[in-house]
């Protein structure tokens, strides 16, 4: 497995502002992903964070709203831009280790007021 950390663990933000979430992994990983879990819901994939190139977004998610950086094989950031209350969710980064097992970070709980 891998040790995955996220910062911040939680935040309360005003609508219209932006928040950048960091994800750090204790080993180099090729594949890193960002997921969202809205209140009482399951997880939905936002995008694949590609090292050295632009992220690949899933249907319904766009770069202007969720810009992602992946400067190296152990680190990625997700920014939630121009936030509204509908963005209140838990945001989780995830990595694939050892072929196909997938592990998740502890999550960032975001509340937008």
Partner 1 sequence: SQQGEEDPQALSIQEGENATMNCSYKTSINNLQWYRQNSGRGLVHLILIRSNEREKHSGRLRVTLDTSKKSSSLLITASRAADTASYFCATDRGSTLGRLYFGRGTQLTVWP
Chain residues in the site for partner 1 (CB under 8 A): 1, 31-33, 37, 41-45, 48, 58, 90, 92, 94-96, 100-107, 109
The two beta strands, 19-25 and 75-80, are antiparallel
Q: Give the contacts of 26 (CB within 8 A, at least 6 positions apart).
A: 2, 3, 4, 74
Shortest distance (Å) from residue 89 CB to partner 1? 10
Shortest distance (Å) from residue 42 CB to partner 1? 4
Residue (75 or 103) nearer to partner 1, CB? 103
DSSP letter at 35 equals: E
Residue (62 or 82) nearer to partner 1, CB? 62
The C-alpha atoms of residue 25 and residue 63 are separated, in whole angstroms, by 23
Shortest distance (Å) from residue 60 CB to partner 1? 10
Residue for token pair 């910062």: 7
Residue (27 or 82) nearer to partner 1, CB? 27
Shortest distance (Å) from residue 63 CB to partner 1? 17
The C-alpha atoms of residue 44 and residue 59 are separated, in whole angstroms, by 11
């Amino acid at each position: 497995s891998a040790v995955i950390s996220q910062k911040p663990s939680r935040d309360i933000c005003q609508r219209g502002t932006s928040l950048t979430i960091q994800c750090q992994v204790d080993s180099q990983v090729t594949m890193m992903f960002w997921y969202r879990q809205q209140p009482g819901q399951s997880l939905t994939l936002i995008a694949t964070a590609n090292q050295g190139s632009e992220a690949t977004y899933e249907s319904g998610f766009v770069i202007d709203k969720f810009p992602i950086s992946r400067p190296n094989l152990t680190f990625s950031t997700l920014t939630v831009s121009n936030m509204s209350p509908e963005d209140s969710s838990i945001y989780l980064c995830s990595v694939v280790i050892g072929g196909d097992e997938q592990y998740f970070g502890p999550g960032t709980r975001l509340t937008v007021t």
